[in-house]
A = this chain, B = another copy of it.
Amino acid sequence: MPSGEIPPIVIQRLPLYLRALSGLESEGEITSQELGRRVGISSAQIRKDLSYFGGFGKQGAGYEVGRLREKLRQILKVDREWEVVVVGVGALGHAIARYAGFNNRGFRVVAAFDKDPRVIGERVGEVVVQDVAHMVNVIKRLKAKVAIVAVPTSQAQEVADALVRAGVRAILNYAPTNLNVPDGVRVRHIDPVAGLQSMTYYLDSE
């Protein structure tokens, strides 16, 4: 299985393929055309993307659903469970920590941190909120590599710095701001308002 030379944009599409396959029966086959229709991507694109990892289709038939799903899980390394920590347990952090959608997709929330004494000690989902002052040590002990940031914008960068110091290598950032991190650490941004703003551009002005 290759790595490194795969275009990042291909890697970002694989979760969409996996997501579409997860809603299907494991038995039977699916063609690149049908999968493309389901994810809104051309069949040529899908065949090309998958071919980076070797051929797991059958000419004339398509791809075995169960087999392709397992392959994608292996490639994305979600054939295991990654321990995730959540930083910031306001309304949004609450929803994240309790979000059932992580299960079965490779992730489990194992710790949550906040600095507000009114939240510390509270049980949220499977975990009890801890003082952010202990965050770096706790994460080091857990050896968690994945974190979700849901603190106010003003604190996002310092939280990110602390996470990096603690050994975190993948950050999902809900704060509407860019984060500077060293090489080897990855960041993805979730900004619903940016998504909305890129759509209003196309709307008629009333």
Binding site for B on A (CB under 8 A): 11-12, 14-16, 18-20, 23, 38-40, 75-78, 82, 84, 91-92, 94-96, 98-99, 101-102, 105-107, 145-146, 148, 153, 169-170, 172, 176-178, 180, 186, 188, 190-203, 205
Smallest Cβ distance from A154 to chain B, in angstroms? Answer: 9
B101 x A198 contact (CB < 8 A): no
Counted per complex, copies of this chain come to 2
Whether A106 touches B200, Cβ cut-off 8 Å, given contacts A77-B205, A190-B192, is yes
How far, in angstroms, from A166 to B14 measured CA to CA in the complex? 33
List chain B residues, Cβ under 8 A from A98: 91
Task: Take A95-B91, A95-B92 as given contacts and tell me if A200 and B77 are in contact as well, using a CB distance cutoff of 8 Å.
Answer: yes
Would B201 and A77 count as touching, CB distance under 8 A?
Answer: yes
User: Which of A77, A78, A198 has its CB near the most chain B CB atoms (within 10 A)?
Assistant: A198
Contact across chains for A146 and B196 when beta carbons are under 8 A apart: yes
Cross-interface CB contact of A76 among B16, B23, B148, B201, cutoff 8 Å: B201
With A192-B172, A196-B188 as contacts: A203 and B77 at CB distance below 8 Å: yes
